[in-house]
Structure 1
Amino acid sequence: MSDPATIVVGYVPTPEGLAAVEYAVTQAQRDDARLVVVNSGVRGYDSDPAFASAADLDALATRLTDLGVAHEIRQAAQAISPAEEILQAATDVGADLIVIGLRRRSPVGKLFLGSSSQQVILDAACPVVAVKRPD
């Protein structure tokens, strides 16, 4: 019998971050997979808007428990980038999939992904799904 799949999802308290979590939850439920949620501010700054509050993380943990999704929530306080946090978590847990959220971009901005998204996509050792927020 093999171990259940593990999905790592990058989470920030934004519509894009929530869309990534929703996609990851759906996949975890479908595959009976374990979910590892990773949140970090830019370079570990807890004053960064990407750094989720304790209330946000508690609400997310309660929701995942209520849905019956095995999970772990990591909130990094180290001084590395969000992409590095996601990639490190994926390595630590032997992730089978990484899910990240993408924000909408202008036509010129579409030529370039965000630096964190691009780093995760290029450096991940497993498949990566990039999710846009719903309209």
Structure 2
Amino acid sequence: MTIVVGYIPSPPGLAAVEAAIEEAERRDARLVVVNSGVMGDYSGPSFAEPQDLDALDAQLTERGIDHEVRQMTRGLAPAEEILSVAAEVGADLIVIGVRKRSPLGKLVTGSTAQQVLLDATCAVLAVKA
């Protein structure tokens, strides 16, 4: 079994990772962590710093979880990156963090969670911080 988790260094992103870790341990699954910038913005707050990714990698190694951490730089939307990796690795589950957004915010910038929920070909677990 393979689980893909969308990660950003924020409370929803950390909640998603923790839920994915719990699922990976429960199911003895491989975990693929996906981090990306927003449409090619690699200086924004959603693009994790190297030390954040190293700490996450160390945490997963310490817990004995078979894993891979990917930081995507193809310039795609985060949802597209998550869905692409999920298809590539044959994911059985995608875990994403969600946060409350205004209707205007969703209209202007779209919703990564909504796109993943609607377009995923496997189960999706949405987690609140």
TM-score, scaled relative to structure 1: 0.89
1:79 is displaced (CA, Å) by 1.1
Partner of 1:78: 74
Deviations 1:90-134 (A, max 9, x none): 00000000000001346x57x98x52111100000001010000x
Q: Distance in 2 between matches of 1:77 and 1:88?
A: 13
Number of the residue aligned with 2:44: 48
What is the rounded CA distance, in whole Å, between the counterparts of 1:64 and 1:24 in structure 2? 11
Residues 25-75 of structure 1, C-alpha deviation per residue, up to 9 Å, x if partnerless? Answer: 000001100000000010132101100000000000000000001100110
AA aligned opposite 2:75: A
Contact 2:13/2:97 (<8 A) preserved: yes
Does the Cα contact within 8 Å between 1:7 and 1:34 map onto a contact in 2? yes
Q: Does 1:24 align with 2:20?
A: yes
CA distance in 2, matches of 1:57, 1:123: 27
Which structure 2 segments of 5+ residues have no match?
none
SS of 1:79's equivalent in the other structure is coil
> Are residues 1:59 and 2:45 paired?
no
Query: Cα RMSD between the aligned structures?
Result: 1.5
| TM-score, structure 2 as length reference | 0.93
Runs of 5+ consecutive residues of structure 1 not aligned to the other structure: none
Which of 90, 93, 98 aligns to 1:97? It is: 93
SS at match of 2:12: helix
The more displaced of 42-51 and 7-16 is: 42-51
Percent identical residues: 61
2:34 pairs with 1:38:
yes
Q: Of the candidates 120, 123, 129, which is equivalent to residue 127 of structure 1? A: 123
SS in 1 for 2:34: strand
